[in-house]
Chain A
Amino acid sequence: MKFTWFNLMPWPDLPDDFREKNRSVWVDIPSRYFDPVRAHQVYNDHLDCLEYAAQVGFDGIAVNEHHQNAYGLMPSPNLIAATLARRTQDAAIVVLGNSIALYNPPTRVAEEFAMLDCISGGRLVAGFPVGTSMDTNYCYGTIPGLTREKYAEAHELIMRAWHEPEPFAFNGRYTKLRYVNVWPRPIQKPHPPVHIPGGGSVETYDFCIDNTYSYSYLSFGGYIRGKALMDGYWNRVAERNTPDNSPYRAGFAQFICVADTDADAERLYAKHAHYFYNRCLHVFPGFADAPGYRTIKTLQKGILNQYAPTKIFEEVPWGELIESGRVIAGGPETVRQRMEELIKGLRVGNVFCLMQMGDMPKDKVQHSTRLFAEQVIPKLRDIYPDYASDSRFWCHPLAKRVTPASLPVEELAR
């Protein structure tokens, strides 16, 4: 099993009446809620937590890309990944990922990922999401009906840029380049492992199967609700006569809070879970799905319950957050049991552990993170022994990596 500590980087200061006063946490959220001076602290706290997770033994630390969004302060995940590459030693740097249709030209992603791979000594896991409709269409203006075509072309360009040793001309519909010649180039050959965050598009299932990429479902709905979608993926894997059904072909994101006891978990974390579900997920439904963003094929397949005209995230009590599987919380043994259900039920080798929720402060995050690393991970490590050697979906760092030099403190003091 691979456990990756995944941080969304929420803004912690949305007011109590945020939902009543504003229509969306995303796209058109008023800028007055953002305080740059406060952000100095917020960013550094989040970075501290990511680095802490690497220190206590998570396999990877993950960041992602969102725009104009108060629960995701990383318009550029690569900036965050770059700082992490310097301050961590062994953990995989998982960027989940760059919305490649939004980069102009997309070779920018090939370049920056290569930089991260070089700086980190081959620790990069590269994510290529299509991007949400909020980010891709409403914040960055990509035409919904052309988003997937643009994405596919960007993917082709990046892959050719990494694979082909000589400069080449690329005559795409969306990008035309006379000299594609990515420099620097990644350590991992031919390229870092690729994970594709998806949301139930049939095309994305096939894309992962065809390219041997890992499919990750980064939902906030929890593992019980996520089962239908993951089953859809595994059915597709079977239907397509995929050579194997290694659990590492799939990943799942899950909110996890560990305390010494179940009661402590509620006492410590419930209010932060409520902050996340009731403020951070307050997204105007009109932004959720620009017409043309999803393919007709996907709409017809009918994973549509989430579009029903009822409120998706109603104020729910802690008990129900736990019951419904949206949050796995409790003492180490409770969490272990439910994680085992998740890992076996969804058949996932990659778990993206969301351990910071909403406005959860650093000390609580680190407490939970440490308990999970020390008391839960070891008991879940070998759930899929038959696939222990499947390294196709994980990074291959250099055996001998440099350590950032310490600063010349004495000289500076003089």
Chain B
Amino acid sequence: MTLKTIATARVPVRYYEGGSGTPLVFLHGAGGLNMDQTFLDVLAQRFHVYAPLVPGYGDSEECAELRDMLDFTLHTWDVVAALGLKDPVLAGFSMGGMIASEMAAVAPHDVSRLALIAPAGLWLDQHPIPDFFAMLPFELPPVLFYDQEAGAKAMTAGVDLSDPNFLQAFLVQNARQLGAAGKILFPIPDRGLASRLYRIRAKTHLIWGDSDQLIAPAYAKEFQRGIAGASLTIIPQAGHAVPFEKPAEVVAALSRLL
């Protein structure tokens, strides 16, 4: 994958590009793309992948003008247009799935294939989504991974919180990334998507880890209730971070859209 920059109306956007075949736009989750590089590589074996970063993620420029769900939705459409893509496969994980759903709902005629991997965007009182904004780093693996040990190891690779310089950089990155994510996810990751799901006309495939402790698999049923004809693949022995834990299985499920 190659990291590139493209201009949009509001802000230059950083994106990864690689592979060949059917164009696919992948929208990352609140954790960014650091842990999903393997997933992108596997994805690029089947698709021509474009994976833009939400402004503020990685080394990308922040964008104070992105404040609410509509801003995020239209901005991401701007990115698709800037990339010169027409009706790419639209895929999103977690927060990215929420954005992809909104894009498909506001422009139903522009999306014919939609892949939602453990998407955020709905809220069920019976299955409250844990408050990951308030979690300490060591509290995250149990809600993100099926194999917590492997997940924790990957999360902390290269992390040294006892080094003040590292800590400062880490806090700045956290503030930039989750600060941006918070605009659509804090304090409750629901910006009214439920009332718009009916507009989605795309062939939609949902992909969920069977052991997702962040957004419980019960949410898959709710998305299926809202999106006509949506199909579902449940991946065994996988937590919320299913693209990280089961990249091949996720890509195989995604390929059903072709």
Contacts of B127 in A (CB 8 A): none
State how many angstroms separate the Cβ of B201 from the closest Cβ of chain A.
31
In the bound complex, how far is the Cα of B139 from the Cα of A167, in angstroms?
Answer: 52
How many interface residues does A have (CB within 8 Å)? 26
Contacts of A138 in B (CB 8 A): 134, 187
* Residue from A286, A293, A294, A308 in contact with B135 in the complex, judged by beta carbons closer than 8 Å: A286
Contacts of B174 in A (CB 8 A): 291
CB–CB B179/A145 < 8 A: yes
Contacts of B225 in A (CB 8 A): none
State how many angstroms separate the Cβ of B10 from the closest Cβ of chain A.
16
In the bound complex, how far is the Cα of B188 from the Cα of A321, in angstroms?
Answer: 40
Query: Chain B interface secondary structure, helix, strand, loop or mixed?
Result: helix
Contacts of A52 in B (CB 8 A): none
In the bound complex, how far is the Cα of B191 from the Cα of A143, in angstroms?
Answer: 13
The answer, yes or no, to whether A188 is at the interface (CB within 8 Å) is: no
Contacts of B179 in A (CB 8 A): 144-145, 291-293
The answer, yes or no, to whether A146 is at the interface (CB within 8 Å) is: yes
The answer, yes or no, to whether B186 is at the interface (CB within 8 Å) is: yes
Q: A299-B172, A299-B175 are in contact. Are A304 and B167 (CB under 8 A)?
A: yes
CB–CB B161/A304 < 8 A: no
CB–CB A137/B168 < 8 A: no
The answer, yes or no, to whether A284 is at the interface (CB within 8 Å) is: yes
In the bound complex, how far is the Cα of B186 from the Cα of A300, in angstroms?
Answer: 23
In the bound complex, how far is the Cα of B171 from the Cα of A307, in angstroms?
Answer: 9
The answer, yes or no, to whether A141 is at the interface (CB within 8 Å) is: yes
Contacts of A143 in B (CB 8 A): 182-183, 186-187
Contacts of A290 in B (CB 8 A): 133-134, 182, 186
Contacts of A300 in B (CB 8 A): 168, 172
In the bound complex, how far is the Cα of B133 from the Cα of A143, in angstroms?
Answer: 11
CB–CB B187/A137 < 8 A: yes
Query: A-facing mask of B198-214, CB < 8 A → 1, else 0?
Result: 00000000000000000
Contacts of B187 in A (CB 8 A): 137-138, 141, 143
The answer, yes or no, to whether B136 is at the interface (CB within 8 Å) is: yes
State how many angstroms separate the Cβ of B162 from the closest Cβ of chain A.
8
In the bound complex, how far is the Cα of B181 from the Cα of A304, in angstroms?
Answer: 23
Chain B 127-182 interface residues, beta-carbon cutoff 8 Å to A: 133-136, 139, 161-162, 164, 167-168, 171-172, 174-182
The answer, yes or no, to whether A412 is at the interface (CB within 8 Å) is: no
Q: Which of A286, A293, A307 has the most CB of B within 10 A?
A: A286
In the bound complex, how far is the Cα of B171 from the Cα of A308, in angstroms?
Answer: 11
Q: A285-B136, A294-B175 are in contact. Are A307 and B167 (CB under 8 A)?
A: yes
Contacts of B134 in A (CB 8 A): 138, 284, 286-287, 290
The answer, yes or no, to whether A15 is at the interface (CB within 8 Å) is: no
The answer, yes or no, to whether B67 is at the interface (CB within 8 Å) is: yes
Binding site for A on B (CB under 8 A): 62, 64, 67, 133-136, 139, 161-162, 164, 167-168, 171-172, 174-183, 186-188
A-B contact pairs, 11 of them (CB 8 A): A138-B187, A145-B179, A145-B180, A285-B136, A286-B134, A291-B177, A292-B180, A292-B182, A296-B172, A300-B168, A307-B167
